Amino acid sequence: MISPNEPNIQLDPQGRLKHFLTIEGLSRGLLTEILDTAESFAGVSERTVKKVPLLRGKIITNLFFETSTRTRTTFELAAKRLSADVLSLNISASSASKGETLLDTLRNLEAMHCDMFVVRHADSGAAHFIAQHAAPHISVINAGDGRHAHPTQAMLDMFTIRRHKGDFSQLKMAIVGDIQHSRVARSQILALNTLGAKEVRIISPATLMPDHAETLGVKVFHKLEEGIQDVDVVIMLRLQRERMSGALLPSEHEYFQLYGLTDERLEAAKSDAIVMHPGPINRGVEMNSQVADGPRSVILQQVSYGIAVRMAVMAMAMQTQGQGSAQ
């Protein structure tokens, strides 16, 4: 958490993005700038040559201490489309697995003249720690740290919502599932409230709801149909089994019976409501295939938009936002 008395290390002295570690402490104007910059990159994927020269000569290093498919590959694609050189470190086969400390790993990468670290780590605060100890010229992007934050996922979700629904101030949102263990949910709630969403609801069993959830600026529900009544956007979350301790759920089958999204349950939402999921989907647990593959699902668009959003964050963090468009 960022203390209100602590300078925001994410920003440079001019208030521009240097690191992207959390949504917390960032202004609506800066989040909107990320979305606007991503909009300028959205068409790059449709070009014959899917590259712009903004980060030519820069070295971006992916440091994934946790497994990932979508996040890692979209960061790699984003960096390559900005014409950067990309180094993806296989942590399980690196010196870190032989006992090298995290700081020693950083110093060695710095000696290779890297310019940016994209970090995913199982420990909350790991990306913040790296940003505090990295050389001054290096930018750090948080690709997910423990239960704490996943800011680029939240921003690609915001980009998806804005593209499909427009003005946040008119929208009611529902986030459904394992709120307690989800770094995505925390980042989404911060982003939605910062961008001025009309109403943010969270829906989960009591065992998967964080303590004092109301203080997050949300409305709390424990019944799915009540929580998604008349909402514009339904965001389903994956059950974070790897972060649970103890028997928080009787079974995945019973969870689906109470909280799994089906076409019938989706009727409680607005007729034009969209369905989102950060992935990977557990079909038959969080939702059935009819919803996941149905006309209201924008799940695959989220993946596509993730490339443009991560391009925007990288370009802005490298202080190229003044030229940061696909022109």
**For the segment 269-318, what is each residue's pLDDT rounded down to a tens digit?**
999 999 999 999 999 999 999 999 999 999 999 999 999 999 999 999 99
User: Are 119 and 136 spatial neighbours (Cβ–Cβ below 8 Å)?
Assistant: no
Q: What is the pLDDT of residues 20-59, one digit of tens each?
A: 999 999 999 999 999 999 999 999 988 888 899 999 999 9
Q: Are residues 155 and 129 in the same domain?
A: no
**What's the confidence (pLDDT) of residue 105?**
85
Residue 120 lies in a domain: yes
Look at the alpha carbons of 181, 175, 65, 152 in this order and tell me if their dihedral is positive or negative: negative
- Is 112 domain-assigned? yes
Q: Are residues 275 and 168 in the same domain?
A: yes
pLDDT in tens, 244-255: 444 466 688 899
Q: Is the pTM of this model over 0.85?
A: yes
Q: How far apart are CA 6 and CA 188, in angstroms?
A: 23
Q: What angle do CA 203, 127, 13 make, to 5 degrees?
A: 105
Q: Parallel, antiparallel, or unpaired for β 219-221 and 199-203?
A: parallel
Q: How many domains does the chain have?
A: 2
Q: How many CA within 13 A on the CB side of residue 72? A: 15
* Residues 145 and 156 reside in one and the same domain: no
In a domain, 18, yes or no: no
Looking at residue 248, its pLDDT comes to 61
Is residue 22 in some structural domain? no
Considering the domain architecture, whether residues 155 and 294 belong to the same structural domain is answered as yes
pLDDT at 103 over 90: no
Domain identity same for 134 and 185: no
Residue 241, domain member (yes or no): yes
Are residues 163 and 142 both part of a single domain? Answer: no
Structural domain harbouring 93: 28-149+304-317
> CATH code at 51?
3.40.50.1370
Same domain, 181 and 252: yes
**Residue 261 per-residue DSSP state:** B
Residue 11 phi/psi, 5° resolution?
-110, 145
Same domain? For 79 and 180 the reply is no
Whole-number mean pLDDT of the chain? 90
Report strand pairing: 274-276 vs 233-236: parallel
Confidence of residue 219 (pLDDT cuts 50, 70, 90): very high
Tell me: do 128 and 35 sit in the same domain: yes
4 part of a folded domain: no
Residue among 294, 230, 233, 220 at smallest CA distance from 262 = 294
Report the C-alpha gap between 316 and 42 in whole angstroms. Answer: 15
**The two three-digit tokens of residue 13, written as one number:** 């002295």
Same domain as 313, residue 290: no
- Asked if residues 200 and 187 have their Cβ atoms less than 8 Å apart, the reply is no
Judge if 163 and 281 occupy the same domain: yes
82 and 156 co-located in one domain? no
| Cα dihedral 93, 94, 97, 103 in deg (nearest 10) | -160
Give a yes or no: residue 177 inside a domain. yes
Q: Is residue 1 part of a domain?
A: no
